[in-house]
């Protein structure tokens, strides 16, 4: 499928740029992982690392060097994203920061390009897993260059569903109620600590669904293209005015049922 605004040639340029940015930033975090305890700011349930800031700057520089007139917004940017930009790049320099900070390998760098508010290119690079997920509108979802696809799981009772706890308390009780409802219905719920990787796990068929409330667009934008192009379904179920979202991604088969579990929890 080609696109009137972004012919496939240009989409490939955006995709290459997203991959180079994610690989450059992720590799920096990996090479400098001995500095994972360098904290700029800590709150009760979160940390801001010096490497978060460095990795965002690295990803931004890669993008700026090729697309000087595009808008860029990242987890570390502050202020507001330019929603009207023809192309808006969204970066999460280290998704799964707390995992990274503790030395757990489940973290990644996530880079997406949006057009008209919709993600059209997504790359998720997980250096310690040596996995790089890529996809663009109209193309195939790949992991390390090989096509991936969502699982065939059709019944929610056979599903692994990943989630997370909304630490910024849009409604913490909603997250815990959802976890309880989920545990009753699925084979196993999982909390693994990186939204972008959770979504890629759905895309590659390792998990069957993912839902989390209170994450941000930068956690899910790249993953949403990847899971959609892997044959799955994704949607934003709630949107705040500061890019905070509630996000659902599935293999498609369990989508409506899992959405029902979410809605029955609210």
Binding site for ligand LIP (CB under 6 A): 75, 92, 95-97, 164, 167, 193-195, 212, 215, 219
Joined together, the tokens standing for residue 219 give 């956690």
DSSP strand pairing (118-126 vs 108-115): antiparallel
Give me the residue label for tokens 């997504």: 122
Name the minimum Å distance from CB 167 to ligand LIP: 6
Q: Name the residue nearer to ligand LIP (CB basis): 6 or 60.
A: 60
Do 3 and 138 contact (CB within 8 A), yes or no? yes
Q: Which two tokens stand for residue 228?
A: 């959609």
* 52 vs 228, beta carbon nearer ligand LIP: 52
131 pairs with which residues across the strands? 126
> Could you tell me the smallest distance in angstroms from the CB atom of residue 37 to ligand LIP?
16
Minimal distance, residue 16 CB to ligand LIP, in Å: 24
Closer to ligand LIP at the Cβ: 97 or 151?
97
67 vs 179, which CB is nearer to ligand LIP? 179
Q: How far is the CB of 92 from ligand LIP (least distance, A)?
A: 5
Q: How far apart are CA 76 and CA 97, in angstroms?
A: 12
Task: Measure the CA–CA gap between 178 and 212, rounded to whole angstroms.
Answer: 9
């Amino acid at each position: 499928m080609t696109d009137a605004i972004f012919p496939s040639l240009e989409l490939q340029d955006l995709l290459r740029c997203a991959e180079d940015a994610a690989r450059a930033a992720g590799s920096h975090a990996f090479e400098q992982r001995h500095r994972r305890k360098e904290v700029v700011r800590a709150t009760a349930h979160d940390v801001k690392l010096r490497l978060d800031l460095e990795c965002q700057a690295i990803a931004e520089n890669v993008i700026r060097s090729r697309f000087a007139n595009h808008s860029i917004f990242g987890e570390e940017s502050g202020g507001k994203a330019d929603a009207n930009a023809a192309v808006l790049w969204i970066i999460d320099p280290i998704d799964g920061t707390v995992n990274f900070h503790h030395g757990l390998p489940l973290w990644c760098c996530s880079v997406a390009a949006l057009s008209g508010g919709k993600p059209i290119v997504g790359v998720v690079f997980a250096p310690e897993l040596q996995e790089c997920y890529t996809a663009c509108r109209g193309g195939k979802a790949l992991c390390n260059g090989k096509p991936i696809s969502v699982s065939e799981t059709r019944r929610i009772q056979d599903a692994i569903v990943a989630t997370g706890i909304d630490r910024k308390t849009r409604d913490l009780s909603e997250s815990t109620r959802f976890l309880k409802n989920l545990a009753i219905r699925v084979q196993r719920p999982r909390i693994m600590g990186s939204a972008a990787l959770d979504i890629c796990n759905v895309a590659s068929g390792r998990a069957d669904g993912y839902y989390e409330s209170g994450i941000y667009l930068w956690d899910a934008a790249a993953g949403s293209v990847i899971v959609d192009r892997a044959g799955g379904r994704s949607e934003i179920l709630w949107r705040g005015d500061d890019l905070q979202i509630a996000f659902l991604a599935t293999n498609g088969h369990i989508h409506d049922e899992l959405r029902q579990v979410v809605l029955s929890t609210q």
